[in-house]
Amino acid sequence: MTEEAMIKGCLRNQASAQQELYYRYSPKMLSVCYRYAKNREDAEDMLQEGFIRIFKQLKQFENRGALEGWIRKIIVHTCINNLKKNKKFAESVDLIHASGMYVREENVPSIVQAKQVVECIRLLPLGYRTVLNLYAIEGYSHREIAQMLEIEESTSRSQFTRAKAMLEDILIKKHILPQYTPNLEVAMINT
More confident residue, 80 or 117: 80
Which domains can be identified in the chain, with CATH numbers? Answer: 3-85 (1.10.1740.10), 95-173 (1.10.10.10)
Residues whose CB is less than 8 angstroms from the CB of residue 178 and which lie 6 or more positions away in sequence, other chains included: 109, 172
pLDDT tens digits, one per residue of 72-106: 999 999 999 988 887 655 443 443 333 333 334 34
Write out the DSSP string of 63-114.
SSS-HHHHHHHHHHHHHHHHHHHTT-TTSPP-GGGGTT------BPPTTS-H
Give, in order, the Cα–Cα distances in Å from 44 to each of 9, 27, 149.
Answer: 24, 10, 21
Q: Is 152 helix (H, G, I), strand (E, B) or coil?
A: coil
Q: Residue 59's pLDDT is what?
A: 92
Give the CA angle between residues 180, 124, 79 to the nearest 5°: 140
Positive or negative: CA dihedral 156, 66, 27, 19: positive
How would residue 8 be classed by pLDDT, with cut points 50, 70 and 90? very high
| C-alpha to C-alpha distance for 67 and 130, rounded to whole angstroms | 24
How would residue 111 be classed by pLDDT, with cut points 50, 70 and 90? very low
